Structure 1
Amino acid sequence: MADLNHQSKRRVLVVGAGGVGTMASVALERSGMACVTAVLRSNYERVMEHGFDIESVDHGRLSGWRPTNVVNKVPTASMESPFDYVVVTMKTIPEIMNIAEIIAPSVTPNHTTIVLLQNGIYIEPPIIDAFPTNAVLSGPSYIGAHEKNGHVIHDDPDRYHLGMFHNERLDKRYERAKLEDFASAYNGSHIEHAMIVDDIIHYRWRKALWNGIFNTMCAITQLDNAAIRRSGGEYSLIRPGMVEMAAIAAADGYDLGENIVDKMVDATPIELSFRPSMLVDVDKGNPVEVEVILGNALRVARKKGVQTPILDNTYRFLKLIQTRLLVARGHIEQPKNIPTTDLI
């Protein structure tokens, strides 16, 4: 009977049910237009037994909440009822994971639309290469949501720009129809979460201006964004670094506007003492998204001939921190120490 009730709803798989993924699941389920299967990892047992406890600025307090299905690994798509959408909200860290390989079992060729609600610039081409017959939607999220052991604090509204990343093998009208359909389901709870835009890369460059500088600098210094600004870092590092990022975007064909640096610096009020996601990851000892947030932007800079001395050094320092984090997590084998006497 449940299958009959859900037959007309979109079948959605959400991969990465942390704060962002959980709130995406809530929005889709509460719209009444989607049945969500959420892939959980460390919190699977807790959520299976007790559900999520959610305090949300958009949806209020939800106790013991669950999506339609909860699983602990990416399921294999059914031929009879394939997933209409696979929504990826997990962090992209190519040193230890391949997103395309992770979601591959759930993607049905010529049918499933892949939705990337993730950080980074130019994260879409590897997905299109892996799934050449599937539409890809893309959306940098601005939500403030944190999950720990099944408890979610959602204190900043769920808003993001959503657009199609054109696959040359597909008809743009087909991609646009998928974009509008997914946005209608996400916005169906009468909250405008997803704002459709015509050129999503423009908005990814805008976010890269903040993420590529503040997020990375906070991770390196282990200071929040307000502490960096108060210490003088705003004018010695943050603003010059943003100017470099804006220059990369311009060379790539995206003019972000004359006052874009002022807008991005002031986007997070200094009174908040905000701790960005990359700093939170360093605090927890988790590897960081250095490649998709900064590395990809610098690869565009090299291709376009843009000089980026501040961002280059930021990348170098962050790669050293990444090595430490990968070693600590066992992703890189640490060589045995050579006794000092052998060097004399």
Structure 2
Amino acid sequence: MAQVSVNTTLPATVAPGGSFTVELDVAKGDVSGFAKLQQNLPPGFSAEQGESANATFSFKDQKVKFLWMALPNNNFQVSYKVNVDASLSGNQIIEGTFAYIQDNETEKYVIPKDIISVGANQADAANQAAMDKILADQQAKEDAAETARKEAASAEETEEVAAVEEVTEVVEEVAEPIVEAVEEIAEEVVEAVEEVVEATPAPAKTVEPVADYNDAMMKSKAGLVFRVQVAAGPSQVDPSFFVNKYGISDAIVIEEHEGLFKYVVGEFGSYRPAKTFSNELRDNNSVEGPFVTAYNDGVRIHVKEALDIAGQ
């Protein structure tokens, strides 16, 4: 990087309503081409052009600017005159930057702050301005040191990242053939297993027989009997279905009636306990729509007819 620096020369004090000259000595190193030197003046200061070193000078919005399309070949000096408002007093700060192009990148040199005291007591003001200048220079040095430290840390981190990436590339190069070999072996194992599976006959499925419906048992019951029907359908199912689904512990009786298989449970000599049992199946076992059925000498009849027979 180019060794660029800018040194500022100006008085420590100035009287209100007075004027002073700011001189800037630029050491540009090997920098050439476009560049801009800018200083920011506090309110109450105005600037006039002095030595420009072939730069374009401007002063607007409290900014003094020297603009070069091509820098001078050697180190150079520029200057400008500052006029101070008569109502101004106290310490005033002047700061700025020198921007230039280096390796197609914009670089910026921060010009150390300068402090000038505006006031009637020139001796005290000069002392205070000198002290402020020392503090400003010290802060500038600390800022420069911190910037250098961060740049060094960034460079070190970049080197570490590059080293890690290099190691990663080596590991990947070594690991790649191993991974490919493992994948090939795995494919061969899978193919062998598939061949064994295809050659092995599947075991025959065992179909458990559905229990025979006991219509004959129903017809063998003499006298008047009340039961509770829990389901009906065109196909016969195993009674264990109702045990698993509804938790019915009583024996399920299967009858064939009117072209359907009907599943009934319980056996009661009168209607009322059968109705109570039907309600319990509905409320406690979540059976949907159970109802009382009636049989006389094993033949299914209407419940009303059964009640007439029983005189209930």
Which protein has the larger Cα radius of gyration, Structure 1 or Structure 2? 2
TM-score > 0.5 by shorter chain = no
Which structure is richer in relative contact order (CA contacts within 8 A, separation 6 or more)? 1
TM-score, with length taken from structure 1: 0.18
| Structure 1 or 2: more strand by fraction | 2
TM-score, with length taken from structure 2: 0.19
| Structure 1 or 2: more helix by fraction | 1
